[in-house]
Amino acid sequence: MVKICCIGAGYVGGPTMAVIALKCPDIEVAVVDISVSRITAWNSDQLPIYEPGLEDVVKSCRGKNLFFSTDVEKHVSEADIIFVSVNTPTKTRGLGAGKAADLTYWESAARMIADVSKSDKIVVEKSTVPVKTAEAIEKILTHNSKGVNYQILSNPEFLAEGTAIEDLFAPDRVLIGGRETPDGQRAIKALKDVYAHWVPEERILCTNLWSAELSKLAANAFLAQRISSVNAMSALCESTGADVAQVSHAVGKDTRIGHKFLNSSVGFGGSCFQKDILNLVYICECNGLLEVANYWKQVIKVNDYQKNRFVNRIVSSMFNTVSGKKIAILGFAFKKDTGDTRETPAIDVCKGLLGDKANLSIYDPQVTEEQIQRDLSMNKFDWDHPVHLQPMSPSSVKQVSVVWDVYEAAKGAHGLCILTEWDEFKNLDYKQIYDNMPKPAFVFDGRNVVDPHKLREIGFIVYSIGKPLDSWLKDMPAV
């Protein structure tokens, strides 16, 4: 029986391995992690991540051919194929700070693999890594090989959170990069055979190592660039009276462009987009390609601009001050159907409002108070370290309260800010909410989930990203 071990039981490792176990009953899959609390959660009824459909998949194979364990060395030594899906934070100090990936966790995983391995291994890069990481890992392993033969593959994961299980069941493509040697090709074939249990052959793309590594960064950069493009248009729509939803619709009808991923928003978030673009920028700079680096940097600049613009709209609408005013934050996750808050635009918007001394009442159906307090008191890029290395008891921000009821959050608030597109925000009783707010009552919709006309009929002053402006907002600067 082929044995797979995945190092790192996070958002990528957990769901991906669960689906491999489900689709390949003849393969034994062990997911290992140094975090005891994460592994305990994977073995309980309360999984550590919220992902639609995940629980059913885990429950149907856990204890049969899917195991979660902290015994990292045992499972690594027994495995034929080792996936590595550990943290790759952005460096905050030293060479490449603020851009380059910190490969500390990757390197320690590679050294551990070399220490405990007694049989040949295929080592698969699963977490997104900078181009040429495979080469570095290969060097660590071969210099410590003790006669063991290692083949390195790059198999980047393209799943999106909230739809991870669907994406894994029917991926647009599976990408496998490896060495162009007979051993390299054999390793590619072994991994291809795993995916071939359920993925049609024509969707499994095999490339060289560097193409696979770069394709992942490129795909995320292209996707993020689309959002910054439409968000840049949203600012122009507000100035000209155009409606960004109508513009996106018209643009997306061109089959060369396509309609997906053209929703204007308060900004993109998530663990990948910013980090991967920063990586790309760093690689370009290291290769002397400054124009190319600047091109991609602009995608992040526009994203930051969009978040700032949103905060400025709120403050300027409320007579240029939110000091001491209660503002309800509806949604904190970086998108709907996930409890993940990594790089969520809500962090920057909340910090901006707190900087202007607002009191925030935050509601999100999937994010805990502890997580929100941690996010609002953490430094940039610190989120991407294993839990046990993060601050144990983060200081809580006093101007912030976190509630489990949306109407409670809104009660007495001067304004509502919608920061995540949770479906439940579409059909709230906005009349009841309005009646319990001081006047003028504002709605700032950062995800275009509410109908501004209906809300204006109730009496709200409404700002919706990229939509024709309320007369109240017209002469107020927000750039």
Interface with ligand ADP (CB under 6 A) = 7-13, 32-35, 38, 72, 85-87, 105, 108-109, 127, 271, 386
Work out how close the CB of 383 gets to ligand ADP at its nearest, in angstroms, rounded to a whole number. Answer: 9
d(CA 453, CA 21): 49
Residue 72 near which of ligand UDX, ligand ADP, none (CB within 5-8 Å, type-dependent) = ligand ADP
- Rounded to a whole number of angstroms, the minimum distance from the CB of residue 305 to ligand ADP is 26
Binding partner of residue 33 among ligand UDX, ligand ADP, none, CB under 5 to 8 Å per kind?
ligand ADP
106 Cβ contact list (under 8 Å, min separation 6): 84, 86, 88, 127, 129, 133, 137
Find the shortest distance in angstroms from Cβ 82 to ligand ADP. 11
State which residue, 77 or 344, has the beta carbon closest to ligand UDX.
344
Chain residue whose CB lies nearest ligand UDX: 270
- Between 245 and 410, name the residue whose CB sits nearer to ligand UDX: 245
Instruction: Please identify the residue of the shown chain whose CB is closest to the bound ligand ADP.
Output: 10
Residue 270 contact partner, candidates ligand ADP, ligand UDX, none, CB within 5 to 8 A by sort of partner: ligand UDX
Q: Write the Ramachandran bin of 204: left for phi over 0, alpha for psi from -120 to 50, otherwise beta.
A: beta
CA nearest 213: which of 135, 295, 292?
A: 135
The residue ranges that bind ligand UDX (CB under 6 A) are: 157-161, 220, 223, 227, 261-263, 265, 268-270, 272-273, 334-335
Sign of CA dihedral 69, 72, 73, 75: positive
User: How many angstroms separate the CA atoms of 333 and 344, rounded?
Assistant: 6
Does residue 215 contact residue 222 with C-beta atoms inside 8 Å? no
Kindly state the smallest distance separating residue 321's Cβ from ligand UDX, in Å.
29
The partner in contact with residue 85, picked from ligand ADP, ligand UDX, none with C-beta cut-offs of 5 to 8 angstroms by kind, is ligand ADP
- Out of 61, 272, 284, 417, the active site residue is 272
Q: Which residues pair with 207 in a beta bridge?
A: 177
Q: Which is nearer to ligand ADP, 35 or 154 (CB)?
A: 35
Q: How far is the CB of 223 from ligand UDX (least distance, A)?
A: 5
Which one, 10 or 466, has the nearer CB to ligand ADP?
Answer: 10
Report the relative pairing of strands 326-330 and 2-7 from DSSP bridges: unpaired
Q: Which is nearer to ligand UDX, 31 or 262 (CB)?
A: 262
**Among ligand ADP, ligand UDX, none, what binds residue 8 when CB lies within 5 to 8 Å by partner kind?**
ligand ADP
Q: Read off the tokens for 260.
A: 């997906």
Mark 201-223 as b/e (b = at least 16 C-beta within 10 Å): eeebebbebeebbbbbbebbbeb
Nearer of residues 87 and 263 to ligand UDX, judged by Cβ: 263
From start to end of 81-137, where are the E strands? Answer: 81-84, 121-125
Strand ranges across the sheet with 359-363:
400-402, 359-363, 326-330, 415-418, 442-445, 461-464
Strand locations in 237-366, DSSP E? 326-330, 359-363
Give yes or no: 237 in active site: no
Residue 425 contact partner, candidates ligand ADP, ligand UDX, none, CB within 5 to 8 A by sort of partner: none
If contact means CB under 5 to 8 A according to the sort of partner, which of ligand ADP, ligand UDX, none does residue 265 touch? ligand UDX
Calpha distance 479→460 (Å, rounded): 23
The encoded tokens of residue 256 equal: 């060369």
Q: Which is nearer to ligand UDX, 16 or 77 (CB)?
A: 16
Mind telling me the catalytic residues? 272
